[in-house]
Structure 1
Amino acid sequence: MTTALLIIDVQNAVLDGEGTPERQPAINAAFTETIGRLQSVQARARAAHIPVILVQHDGGPGNPLARSSNGWGLRHEIAPVLGETVIHKTSCDSFFQTNLGEVLAKLAITHLVIGGCQTQFCVDTAVRRAVSLGYDVTLLSDGHTTGDMGELTFAQIVAHHNHMLGGFHAGAHAVELRRAGEITF
């Protein structure tokens, strides 16, 4: 099994305004903690010469993630190093109208370790799509986060998606949940 680490939308403004003024500090704190765990997994992947692929959402004008804006930038803690691939996307789906599939095929990747931001949108879509395209997936159960949405807190959304995605399968390919600290390459 050939593995790659896929980190999705860990951008400066990805969670800005994703909660009430009272809740935003908790969202920001969880984001910082998640980034720390992703950074640790990223360091282990690099040390093991495992490909690290970063996905960056390109928002349109006026969007907090508008291309080339400060909010659009990848967080410095997980910034790519020379030779790492950055995939640019314009929808929740990291595979849709991107070259991600080509990059994975060129590297002969069969297994993706996935973490990142916007659990209920971009992370969920990437995980489900990857499995349906024939990849085995390890979802970092503590390596993805989001903001609040309506009455649901970010913690409830993350817990729900971990519950729903753990064991999700398409044919012989499935999702396994693992904590970031459990990942070895």
Structure 2
Amino acid sequence: MKALLVIDVQNGMFQEGNSVYKAERLLQNLKSLIAKARYAKTPIFYIQHNAPVGKPLEYGTKGWEIHSEVTPNTEDIIIQKTTPDSFLNTSLEAELKKHRIEHLIIAGIQTEVCIDTTCRRAFSMDYKVSLASDAHSTWDSQDINAKQIINHHNNVLRWFADVYSSKDITFDS
């Protein structure tokens, strides 16, 4: 059985003047994936980062809340985390086992941190992993721009995941 993981798509990642790369396209692609998953009755797991006081994703603040364009439904599962690894010290693995999930479709933020770490960890835990190549994003770094980071990770993560555009991802068994 498949599940969609929507990682760290929280208000703090979309701050005016400091939004993730191609934020609107990211949200559109995420909404498409979520709609397809809901139609197929595929479980959706929202991973929500809890950052320390003063950070954009500070627990309990407006920035910490899941972005309104991808708001969870009551049947969706929200997993809280404090590290880039969506499995580390969280209830994710227990929830996936409870729902008999074997295949994870991964999307969200931040490409080189939480997306990369969760793809690799899921692979190491024997999950089949698919990465939505156009449904994860990041920011420019000091040395390379966001587009280069995303392209690089789409290439490197092929060792750990099947990489598809969101339009080519299906949720049927």
Report if TM-score (shorter chain) is over 0.5: yes
Which residue of structure 1 aligns with residue 6 of structure 2?
Answer: 7
Which residue of structure 1 aligns with residue 164 of structure 2?
Answer: 178
Contact 1:15 1:147 in 2 (8 A): no
Counterparts of 1:141 and 1:157, CA distance in 2: 12
Contact 2:21 2:139 in 1 (8 A): no
Quick one: which amino acid aligns to residue 134 of structure 1? D
Contact 2:21 2:137 in 1 (8 A): no
Which residue of structure 1 aligns with residue 44 of structure 2?
Answer: 52
Q: Compute the TM-score of the two structures, normalised by the length of structure 2.
A: 0.94
Which residue of structure 1 aligns with residue 153 of structure 2?
Answer: 161
Q: Compute the TM-score of the two structures, normalised by the length of structure 1.
A: 0.89
Q: In percent, how many aligned pairs have the same letter?
A: 38
Report SS of the residue matched to 1:81: coil
Contact 2:20 2:138 in 1 (8 A): no
Residue deviations 1:101-142, cap 9 Å, x none? 000000110000000001000000000000000101000011
> What are the ranges of 5 or more consecutive residues in structure 1 without an aligned counterpart?
170-174
RMSD between superposed Cα atoms in Å = 1.4
Residue deviations 1:13-64, cap 9 Å, x none? 12548xxx6xx4xx55602211110111101100110000000000111111
Counterparts of 1:15 and 1:92, CA distance in 2: 18
Report SS of the residue matched to 2:13: coil
Runs of 4+ in 1 over 6 A off after TM superposition: none
Report SS of the residue matched to 2:62: coil
Contact 1:110 1:136 in 2 (8 A): yes
Match of 1:113 among 84, 102, 105: 105
Report SS of the residue matched to 2:47: strand
Counterparts of 1:64 and 1:138, CA distance in 2: 28
Which residue of structure 2 aligns with residue 123 of structure 1?
Answer: 115
2:40 equivalent to 1:41: no
Q: Which moved more, 1:148-157 or 1:91-100?
A: 148-157
Match of 1:133 among 125, 139, 143: 125
